[in-house]
Chains A and B, each alone.
Chain A
Amino acid sequence: MPTNTVVLLKHVYDESQLKVDPATGGIDFSAVPGKMSSFDRNAVEEALRLRQQLGGTVTSLTLGTDAAVKSIREALAMGVDRAVLVRTSGETDAYAAGALLEKALARLQPWGLLLCAEGSTDTYTSLLPGMLAQRLGLPLISYARSLKLDGGALVGERSLERKTVTVRAALPAIASVVSEINEPRIPTLLQIMGAAKKELSVTQAESLGVTEQGYRTESMSGKGRERKRVVIEGPVQEAVSRLLDAMTREGVV
Chain B
Amino acid sequence: MTPILTYSEDGELACELVAAAREISPSAEVAAVVLGDGDVSSLSESGCDVVCRVAGAAPVPEVAASAVAEVARQRATRMVLVGSTKDGKEVAGRLSVLLGCPAATECSRVGLESGRLRVERMAFGGRVSTVASMPGDSFVVALRPRAYARLGGAAKAGVTEVVVPAARRSVSVESVAGQPPSALDLTRADRIVSVGRGLKKKEDLELIRSLAGAMDASIGCSRPLSADLGWLGEESHIGLTGIQVKPKLYLAVGISGQLQHLAGIRDAGVVVAINNDKTAPIFSSCDYGVVGDLYQVVPELVAQLSAAKGREKGY
Contact = CB atoms under 8 A, between A and B. Distances in A.
Given A125-B106, A161-B85, A230 B288 contact: yes
A164 B85 contact: no
Given A169-B171, A240-B300, A133 B123 contact: no
A168 to B, nearest CB: 5
Interface string B116-129: 00100011110111
Contacts of A239: 290-292, 297
Given A131-B96, A227-B286, A252-B270, A164 B177 contact: yes
Nearest to A239: B290
Contacts of B118: 218
Contact of B227 (A15, A132, A180): A180
Given A15-B124, A18-B124, A231 B249 contact: no
| Most chain A Cβ neighbours within 10 Å, of B62, B135, B287, B291 | B287
A188 interface: no
Contacts of B271: 227
Interface in B293-310: 293, 296-297, 300-301, 304-305, 308
Contacts of A118: 86, 241
Interface string B29-46: 000000000000000000
Contact of B89 (A27, A126, A231): A126
A138 B132 contact: no
A95 B89 CA distance: 14
A213 interface: yes
B1 interface: no
| Most chain A Cβ neighbours within 10 Å, of B89, B278, B304 | B89
B123 A124 contact: yes
Given A133-B62, A216-B134, A140 B171 contact: yes
B287 A224 contact: no
Nearest to B283: A231
B176 interface: yes
Interface residues of B, number: 86
Contact of A222 (B103, B127, B240, B308): B127
A158 B62 CA distance: 14
B222 to A, nearest CB: 13
Nearest to A170: B170
A160 to B, nearest CB: 5
Contacts of B138: 213-214
A20 B119 CA distance: 22
B92 interface: yes
Nearest to B267: A225
A125 B105 contact: yes
B259 interface: yes
Given A130-B92, A215-B103, A236-B297, 16 more contacts: A13-B124, A18-B124, A18-B128, A95-B97, A98-B97, A124-B106, A125-B103, A138-B170, A140-B170, A143-B86, A158-B86, A160-B86, A168-B174, A179-B241, A221-B130, A225-B267
6 interchain residue pairs of minimum CB distance:
A130-B93, A139-B170, A252-B249, A215-B102, A180-B227, A15-B124
30 contacts: A15-B127, A39-B241, A94-B93, A98-B96, A119-B89, A126-B89, A133-B94, A134-B97, A161-B86, A166-B177, A168-B171, A179-B223, A214-B138, A215-B103, A217-B132, A218-B132, A218-B133, A220-B123, A220-B131, A229-B283, A229-B287, A230-B288, A236-B296, A240-B290, A240-B297, A246-B287, A247-B270, A252-B191, A252-B269, A253-B249
